[in-house]
Amino acid sequence: MTLNSFIHLGNKNLLMPFPSSEINLPMLTEYVINGHIRIPEFQRPIIWNAEDVENLLDSVTQGYPIGFLLFWESHESLRERTPHPLHLKLRKIRKNEDKFWLLDGQQRVTALIGSFTDNLYLGRLGKTKYRAFYDLEMRKFKVLKVSEIEKKKPKPEYKIENWFIPLNKLFIQNRKGEFELDKNSHLQITPDLEESLGQRHRSDLLHLWKMFMDVKIPVINERKNLPDACTIFERLNTAGTPLTVVDVMIAKTYEKDFVLRRKIDELNEELASALYELKDTTVLQCMSACLAKDTETDSILANAKEIKNNWDETTVAIKSATSFLKNKTGVCLISKLLPHEILLAPLSYFFYKYATLKDKPKNDVEINNALKRFFWYNIFSENYGRSQSTKARDDMNEMDSLLVGNYSVFKSDKYDFSPFNAKDIKEEEISSSPFSKTFLCFLISKMPLNYNDNSRVEIERAINPQSIKSIHHVFPKTVFLEKLIDSIANVSIISVQLNNDIRNQRPSSYFAKFGAKNKELKETLKKHHLIGDFAEFGITDDKFDTFIEKRATLIEEEIKKLIEELKPVTPKRS
């Protein structure tokens, strides 16, 4: 049996496919390694983890069905996933050679073949190598990170016992990577495996071989044009393993000269230099907002063609929105610290529409104030905590008013700022919650300086969203064991090095030391860190309760002050 013998089903069978042909594991491996089966670029990245692979291997040995594979047969040369999910360097395909593009089943195919050829890569971006084992004692699969296995003193969970059988040694492979089978079609034992194999485990291992040898994977092969193939991919994946809107959009917009994932990556590379990097979904929400005044998933999918055709114009609007936040509010690291990224959608909408206006509003100061109101009022009121698409649509209506010169939009009386009160600020622990992120945005907007020399803090290094609680605590956790020690009111943004230097010191000590060298320290603390007089704030006597109460109150006052400052001065139209 070859791939050319697979049945070609009509459209009616696509929604409920009935497989009429099968492929075994050795042949599947041969076709992948020899380059007959290819993975198109519009496929999603590897998202499976070690447990997913273990479950698949277990399903095979238990005789459970593992689903069908769908191929698209074509002479067309598409862009392929790079690097290959198995990190293979495939041969070049001849111009008119049949190619079988894998439309459905990529996660399963790479898990199976990777396990048996020692080419299993998982984790973020599929860069971390794993190795699959069968534990003969426990009769279960283990998929372990190679870097952990190969340590001189691995952790207990990564220790390889004598009864752990590496799956890549179950089969003899020739130079091409093909499985070698004996005359009786039984998988052979490699010499090194024979030597280490205990007699009591032979029956279990033979059963294991037999199950992997006998497994037959149902396949469907389709001959369609490229748009139809992408539609098939979209339908099957949406009905099966859930895809993100980005995954579906990649298939819907795919052309040889337009690959959505690559386009988003290129945009983020540009934004990264300005400390911005957006989630893929946020990019599409912003574009749908610009083109259809809607951020819902249905709108994104319905406007796939428009998003592709207006890519350049909408990316300019997104870059203008992120640039505004950085330059006018001081907020950066958007994908990490913005309480709700969808806030960028109405802002992008404004800049997209503004670029096309012939008669633009004249008062730039009032425009900037209105846009700052939009940002700060929304995050201080936690307005986007629910019904985000509805809120975004309402704010785009406000943006329409601003575009015709109505500068009094985003009025404070429409927002509830009560969440940011001294009591809640004091009791809120630093975390990745929207409340904490809003507070960090506010601190960042104060352009924090280092205590010792007034140098500007490099925000991208000072804040690590993966370990948010490592941000500097004015009263260090290593010295004080107070109940509210992780309160956001105890957090200040300084460099990592300075934080490490004073990690085990009391504030009365390190502030006195820095104050002797930095004559502007008190002004720096008040203006850039919202910390007042040492004695009044309890710093002189290391009184944590006094400090936390005073600082929470000062933060609330400063937030109220900003809200007042941003109120429109000129409500008239221009």
At 269 the pLDDT is 87
Which of 467, 468, 445 minimizes the C-alpha distance to 530?
Answer: 445
SS3 track for 437-485: HHHHHHHHHCCCECCCCCCECCHHHHCCHHHHHHCCECCCCCCCCCCCC
Give the pLDDT means over successive 10-residue stretches in the chain (574 positions).
34 35 84 86 83 93 84 76 86 75 88 91 85 89 92 84 81 53 40 58 76 83 64 54 71 81 88 78 96 93 93 96 89 76 96 93 91 96 93 97 94 92 93 92 92 89 77 90 89 92 92 93 92 94 95 95 87 48
R_g (Cα) of the chain, nearest Å: 30
CB 275 within 8 A of CB 314: no
Count Cβ neighbours within 10 Å for each residue of 392-430 and write b for 16 or more, e otherwise: bbebbebbeebbebbbbbbeeeebebeebebeebbebbb
At 525 the pLDDT is 93
Report how far apart, in Å, the C-alpha atoms of 412 and of each of 75, 361, 393 are.
61, 22, 18
pTM for the structure as a whole: 0.70
Amino acid at 295: T
Amino acid at 108: R
At 14 the pLDDT is 32
CB 568 within 8 A of CB 366: yes
**CB within 8 A of 452, min separation 6: which ones?**
498, 514, 517, 518
Which of 280, 392, 374, 266 minimizes the C-alpha distance to 329?
Answer: 374
d(CA 291, CA 310): 8
d(CA 101, CA 42): 11
* Tokens read off for 253: 């917009």
Which of 15, 216, 8 minimizes the C-alpha distance to 100?
Answer: 8
Which of 324, 393, 317 minimizes the C-alpha distance to 351?
Answer: 317
In which region does residue 454 sit, left (phi positive, over 0), alpha (psi from -120 to 50) or beta (all else)?
A: left
311's enclosing H/E stretch is helix 311-324
Q: Angle 190-191-197 (CA atoms, 0-180°, nearest 5)? A: 85
At 348 the pLDDT is 97
d(CA 548, CA 474): 10
- Bridge partners of residue 134, in order along the sequence: 141, 165
Inter-residue long-range contacts of 510-514, CB under 8 Å, 24+ positions, other chains counted? 510/451, 511/451, 511/539, 514/451, 514/452
Report how far apart, in Å, the C-alpha atoms of 368 and of each of 108, 407, 518 are.
51, 10, 35
Dihedral, CA of residue 477, residue 482, residue 488 and residue 489, to nearest 10: -110
CB 254 within 8 A of CB 312: no
User: Among the residues of 36-130, which ranges form H helices?
Assistant: 50-62, 106-117
At 205 the pLDDT is 77
- Judged on CB neighbours under 10 Å (0-12, 13-18, 19+), 90 is middle
At 7 the pLDDT is 29
Inter-residue long-range contacts of 356-361, CB under 8 Å, 24+ positions, other chains counted? 357/403, 361/402, 361/403, 361/404, 361/405, 361/407, 361/574
d(CA 132, CA 302): 42
Q: Terminus-to-terminus CA distance in the chain, angstroms?
A: 76
d(CA 305, CA 252): 8
Which of 233, 214, 206 minimizes the C-alpha distance to 222?
Answer: 233
CB 76 within 8 A of CB 41: no
User: What DSSP state is assigned to residue 277?
Assistant: -
